[in-house]
C-alpha cells in the first residue's frame, strides 16, 4: 500500500467486511506502519468503551453502564417514581371526592324533584290523569 490506509478501508477491516486479499494487504501494512496500527487500536478502544467489551482496565467502563450505575441517576429515577405515585394518588382521591360530591348533589336533586312533584300535583292534575287513564289511575299504588 502506498502511504497510509484510509479510514474507510480501516473501518471495513475492523468490521470484517473486506475480502481475503484486501484483508491480507491491510494486515501487512499494519504490521509495518505504527500510525495505522494506532488508528486501529483507537477504534478498538472506542468500541470497547461504547459497547462494554472487557478492556482489562478497571476505570474504563461503558458509558451507558456508568450512567445507569450513577447515584444521580438512581436519585432522579426515585424522584420521578415518587412524584408519579403522588400525582396519581392525588388525582384518584380528588376524582373520588368529586364523584362522591356529584352523587350527593344528584341524590339531593332527585329528592327535591320528588318533593316538588308531590307538592305541585293538585286536583287539576288528578282530574287530567283520571280522564286520561280512567279509574285505574285512582286505584293504582304504583305512584
Task: Tell me the per-residue pLDDT of 37-78, one tens digit each, with 9 for 90 and over.
Answer: 999 998 888 887 776 655 444 444 566 677 777 888 888 999
Same domain, 117 and 89: yes
Q: 78 lies in which domain range?
A: 71-139
Give the predicted TM-score (pTM) of the model. 0.35
Answer yes or no: is 132 within a domain. Answer: yes
Do the Cβ atoms of 1 and 29 come closer than 8 Å?
A: yes
In a domain, 1, yes or no: no
Whole-angstrom distance, CA of residue 25 vs CA of residue 100? 81
Q: Answer whether 15's CB lies under 8 Å from 8's CB.
A: no
Number of domains comprising the chain: 2
- Residues 68-90: pLDDT tens digits? 778 888 889 999 999 999 998 88
Give me the phi and psi of 62, to 5 degrees please: -60, 150
By the 10 Å C-beta count (0-12 exposed, 13-18 middle, 19+ buried), 36 is classed as: buried
Same domain, 128 and 76: yes
* pLDDT classification of 97: cutoffs 50, 70, 90: confident
- How many Cβ atoms are within 10 Å of 112's Cβ, its own excluded? 10
Amino acid at each position: 500500500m502506498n502511504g497510509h490506509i484510509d479510514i474507510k478501508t480501516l473501518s471495513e477491516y475492523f468490521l470484517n467486511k473486506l475480502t481475503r486479499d484486501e484483508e491480507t494487504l491491510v494486515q501487512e501494512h499494519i504490521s509495518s506502519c505504527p500510525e495505522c496500527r494506532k488508528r486501529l487500536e483507537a477504534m478498538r478502544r472506542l468500541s470497547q468503551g461504547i459497547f462494554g467489551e472487557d478492556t482489562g482496565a478497571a476505570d474504563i467502563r461503558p458509558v451507558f453502564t456508568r450512567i445507569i450505575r450513577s447515584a444521580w441517576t438512581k436519585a432522579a429515577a426515585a424522584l420521578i417514581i415518587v412524584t408519579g405515585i403522588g400525582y396519581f394518588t392525588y388525582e384518584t382521591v380528588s376524582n373520588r371526592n368529586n364523584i362522591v360530591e356529584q352523587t350527593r348533589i344528584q341524590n339531593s336533586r332527585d329528592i327535591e324533584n320528588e318533593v316538588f312533584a308531590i307538592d305541585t300535583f293538585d286536583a287539576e292534575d288528578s282530574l287530567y290523569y283520571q280522564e286520561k287513564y280512567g279509574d285505574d289511575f285512582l286505584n293504582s299504588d304504583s305512584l
